[in-house]
Every structure is written in structure tokens, then in C-alpha cells.
Structure 1
Amino acid sequence: MARRSSTRRDWDETDVRVRAHKSGSRPRTKDRPAHEDAVTGRVVTVDRGRYTAVLDEDTDAERLVVAVRAKELRRRPVVAGDLVGLVGDVTGAPDTLARLVRIEERSTVLRRSADDDDPVERVVVANADQLVVVVAAAEPEPRTGFVDRALVAAYDAGIDPLLCITKTDLRDPAGLVAHYTALDLPVLVSGPAAGAAPAGDGASLPLDRGLVEALRERLDGRVSVLLGHSGVGKSTLVNALTGADRATGGVNAVTGRGRHTSSSALALKVEDASPGSWIIDTPGIRSFGLAHVDPDRIVEAFDELGGAIAECPKGCRHTEDSPGCALDGWVARGRAGAAGAARLASLRRLLRAREGSGDAPEDKELGVG
């Protein structure tokens, strides 16, 4: 056998020289910068991927800064009321953009689902401590189903609710107020239209100064969310309390419904109030589902009925056909107050809605007015 040349050698894969690819030359890491230099701001509105936040609020340096969200936060919702960390250009000068790099821990989260059987949660606002539910005594007709949904959402989020009734010059609100007498629920009621405060344009609703000032006192030093159907005077209230010029609208004479006027949630400072007094005006959300709330939590939100849970059998669904449900006996014994039967019916409409039937669609809607 012929001998191999001494100039040749055995080759293997270790001899192959591989040129590093330009995109893979650095080791990958999941570590993100801490952004210790980030400044904290409060998000006041969100518009098509742009986040407007107020920095250094209640100081001489207070300013609005527009920011875009950092790539690592793209799967996390940022909503009005969020406290966020901002880096980059935070001067607030025209045509500048900061970068939103962190969402601070939220104290409260007001949530909804698109419907009662939709498992996807939507965050409405963050860090609010009061929910003001605005309804009209008439035009449009008050819907206790809507109020009850709002109360359930508030109690589930750990937010204090407040009921505000407008248009009492059109109808005595005593029946509506009586529906919630057994609850520890503050209620503010408008007075006669003769004492109306200026409301802005011709389509605005007259509001008496007494209601405006009573509500201003309740809002003082708090972050409050206003919810209400279209046409109840919510945006008019916001204008009177903040000096803003939110669009207002009337009620359709044929359908009895208001015209949606706001399109985005907006946090506004309350005029003539302590620092930290904010109103978050909500947009015309088309549906306010409670799929994220456990049925027992829904019952507990009906404070005058919640005590009956301890007497129900394990796994009770609390509906009319639930064997051994203690709610009926609780109401029959008068333990839920004079409006107990009506409140129980309202509760069971909510519970049935989770199973595919119950509240009318308009009871789930939130609007503006």
C-alpha cells in the first residue's frame, strides 16, 4: 500500500472555521435594564399607541408628556390612572416623545369583560378609589341592572361606590333610592333645575349648584371614576367640576337613549379641590360584563343578601332552581329589607346572565352623557 504524503493530514469537523454571524455574535439575555433614572407620571389618556402622562403634578414644574410604550411592555395594557416610569425626553416640549418603560404596582383595577361569558378581562381604569355611578331619574329610564353591575365591579375591585341621580325635576327618585336603602351606599340627588349651574352648550343638561358642590366635596382628595349611560348628564357634570369642555349630548326621543359623545377615557383635575383630586371620565363602553367575578363575590356585593351565603349548601349557584338556596328564606324573613325581593330578582338576573341569559343588553352598557 502506498504511503500518504507527509504534506497531507487528517481532517475532522474541529478544523472547520465558522465565521460568526453578525446577528448572533452576542450572547442573548432576558435581563432588562432597571431604568433607575425613570421618572414617575400619571397616565391621563391613551390615544392610538400614544400615552399622555402628567409629571410633577401639583408643582410649578407640572407638565404633560407624550410617550410610546417600550417593546417589553407591549403585551401589558396601560390605561388612564396608571402610574408609569418614563425615560428619554420628559421635558414635555412640542414634538417630543418619551418612552414608557414601567407600570408601577396598581392599588386598584376596575375590570370588565365584553360579555358575561367572555373570559377575557379588560382593564377600564387603574388606581381609582371611588366609583361614581351616574343615573337619571328619567329620560333615559334608570336601570337598576346597570347600577348593580357597577356596584359589583366596584366592590370586587375594592373601590368605594357612590350613586349620583340627575334629572330629578322630571321624576321623584324616591323609588330608585329606596331600592338601595339597605346598602351602605352614599346617594347624591340633584335639586330643581331652577338653580342650575351653567352647562356649556345648548345640548347640555341643567345641573343645580348644590349637586355640583356636594359632588366636588365627595371627590376631594380622591381619584374617582364616573360611569353612566348616555344622556344622564355625566359629561356635563365633568365639565362643571373640572372646567373642561367634554362634548355633551341629549337623548333620542324615539329610542330614549343618549348619544355617545366621548371616545376615550380621560383623567381631569377637579377644580377648587385638594391636590390629588382627579376625575376619570370613561368612554362609551358598549358592554360591561362580569365574567371575571366569582358568583359568590357577586352575591357578596349585594350586601343585604350576602349573609345568606353561609346558610347555602356547598356549591350553591344561588339561582331560583338551586336546591336548598337560602336566599329565598333570607328575603322572606325580612332580613334583606323592604326592597329585598326586588334586590334578589336583580341579583339572580346577574347570575343567570353568567349562564347565557338574564340582563338585557342595555343593562350591560356604559355610556356618556
Structure 2
Amino acid sequence: MARELDEDDVRVRPGRSSRPRTRERPDHAEAVPAVVVGVDRGRYTCRPGPTPQRLVAAVRGGSMRRTSVVVGDRVALVGDVSGTSGALARLVRREERTSVLRRTPDDTDPAERPIVANADILVIVCSVTDPVPRPGLIDRCLVAAYDGGLSPVLCLTKTDLADPAPLIELYRPLGFPVLTTQPDCDLDPLLALLTDRVSVFFGHSGVGKSSLVNRLVPAADLAIGEVNAVTGRGRHTSSAAVALLLPGGGTVIDTPGVRSFGLGAVAPNRVLRAFSDLAAAAEHCQPGCEHLAPSPDCALDSAVRDGEADAARLASLRRLLAARGTPL
């Protein structure tokens, strides 16, 4: 008589586990150190050394598949690092970041989007006209710079078309460099700040940011073309960040023009750090002061009335705090 079958008679093939088969993970001691200079649809263009001619295409491998990698990251590569046509290396490690410039889709979305890593300087490029300057965007960039560990520089372009004095006076109290440029002007003051440093250029669309980068790096078109040749894409049109070597030493990272800059990932208590001209007065506020609206109890309003602080700067701070939706 045939035996009745039960669940013990059904052979089930175990599913594939996401766990590694062994706890012993390779240390990749032979990995080649490199810097990410371009990112395009899952492909990473890396420079193993200081020469711009050698660029290596790589993909994230193994445990790195869930790790964020952006332009400026210092990484380790294994596999084919020759940089020849068709060669593809594997990115196996990302070194600890010293700084990170990040933004969010908007102020209510806390999901951060890293833009550039390990930069020393954030050059905020703003035209004095065409398009009109946006102090609110400048302030947001300042907040992101201080929060991410970068030193800010404000570069005003198209100063041959309008007077930059109002913007210069607005940001002079903060104590960081404010430079002016126009076509065919001397860029030595800017170069003095950038030489032997890693700088990232950021600004609103149409302010002349990429044109300024092309003047600083005369071979920019050639270098960018080589980056895209590795990834197999078209020529660079400021649709993604790309790192370029300065002729005199240092690196310039050009980024796409932006229309907005969300601060959802920035802790509210760090926003005031971008307003050093107001921070001292804020120390005299009562505990729990939100600084959000004119109030006789807010020391910032008293500082403005006494001429110790600028009303426009206070209005800008309050715009950021209101946009964050959370008081300090």
C-alpha cells in the first residue's frame, strides 16, 4: 500500500542568501588608491595619480554596492586599472570623508544628497545681474558649507554690467573672502585661494560658473572630454559634477547649475553658524527663543535696533529657519 506523502517529503531548494559565504573578507591590500573625478549612471571615472591623462572606469563591487560614492571621494580600486579602452576596475573601498557638500530635494525632505566629498573650499558663484542675485540661495550655500566642513568664498561675476557694492557690503560682516570678476579680468586673487586646495564651484544656472572654470583650467574642455570618453557618454554640459586639475596645483570641481537648495538634512541648531554676524547677539536671547519673528524678547531684534546687526541678514536667517520648519 502506497504511503501518504506529507510536507517532509517535499524537497525545497534553499534560497540564495545575501550573507557572505565566509566571514573572512578580502582586505584588498593590493588595491590602488584613486580619486573619483566623475560619476555617470553607475560608472565612476577615477584618477589613480596626479596626471590627468590616466583615467580609470570603475563600478562598485561587493559590499560597496550600497555605499554612496560622489566626485571627490578617495577610493580603492582592484582589477584592470590600466585605463585602456574597454577596461573596467572594481571599487572596493571608500576612505573616510573629511568634508561633504550636501543638499536635499526640499526643506521638508530629510533625505540628503551628497554632491561633492573632501573639498576644502566652496566657491559660491553669483552674478550681480542677468540673472539677478539671489541672497537667499547664497545664504543656503553658506549654511551647507559650514555644516559640511568647507570654507566659503563668494565670487561675484558680471561686475562690468552692474555695481557689486550692495552684495559686498551685505556679506562683508561674515568675514569670508568676497571676490569680483568680469570678462578678461585678472583671476590671480581667486587662484591664490584655490592653488593646492580642492575647491567646488556652485551657483545658480546662468551665472557664468562653467565659463569661470574654463578660464581657470584652460584645458578643461579636453579634460572633460577624456572623462566622458571613459564612460562612453557625450561631452560635458554641466549636467554632472566633474573634477579638473588646476595647472598650478589643486583641483576645481565644476557642478551643474541649480534652481534650489534644500536644507532638510542640516540640523536646525547649525543654521545660525552661517550667520556669524548674528551669533554673538543670539547668545543674549532667552532660553528657547526661536528667533523666528520680531519680538521684544529676541536679542536679535534689539541688536538691529541698536545698529549692531543688519536687518537684511536677520531677515535672511529667519527665512531659513521658517523654511526648515523647526526652531533653533
User: TM-score, normalised on structure 2?
Assistant: 0.85
Deviations, residues 50-93 of structure 1 (Å, cap 9, x unaligned): 0000012259xx61100010131122211000000000111111
**Contact 2:203–2:258 (CA under 8 A) maintained in structure 1:** no
CA RMSD for the aligned pairs?
A: 2.6
**Contact 1:295–1:317 (CA under 8 A) maintained in structure 2:** no
User: Which of 204, 215, 221 does residue 240 from structure 1 map onto?
Assistant: 215
User: Which of 163, 176, 183 does residue 172 from structure 1 map onto?
Assistant: 163
Partner of 1:198: none
Q: 1:99 to 1:170 in 2, by over 3 A?
A: same
Matched, 1:265 2:241: yes
Partner of 2:62: 71
User: TM-score, normalised on structure 1?
Assistant: 0.76
Deviations, residues 263-316 of structure 1 (Å, cap 9, x unaligned): 110001112x12xx1111112344311112222311121010011232222232
Partner of 1:49: 42
Matched, 1:126 2:117: yes
Matched, 1:182 2:173: yes
The share of aligned pairs that are identical, in percent, is 55
**Contact 1:109–1:125 (CA under 8 A) maintained in structure 2:** yes
Partner SS for 1:217: helix
Unaligned runs of at least 5 residues, structure 1: 1-15, 192-206, 247-259, 357-369
Partner of 1:5: none
- Tell me how far apart the structure 2 counterparts of residues 98 and 269 of structure 1 sit (CA, whole Å): 22
Partner of 2:190: 215
- Which protein shows a greater Rg? 1
Matched, 1:328 2:282: no
**Contact 2:56–2:89 (CA under 8 A) maintained in structure 1:** yes
Q: 1:87 to 1:261 in 2, by over 3 A?
A: closer
Partner of 1:345: 315
Partner SS for 1:311: coil
Shift of 1:227: 0.7
- Tell me how far apart the structure 1 counterparts of residues 66 and 43 of structure 2 sit (CA, whole Å): 15
Q: Which has the higher helix share?
A: 2
Q: 1:151 to 1:20 in 2, by over 3 A?
A: closer
Q: 1:324 to 1:38 in 2, by over 3 A?
A: same
Shift of 1:173: 0.7
Q: 1:320 to 1:102 in 2, by over 3 A?
A: same
2:28 alignment partner AA: H
Partner of 1:159: 150
Shift of 1:323: 7.7
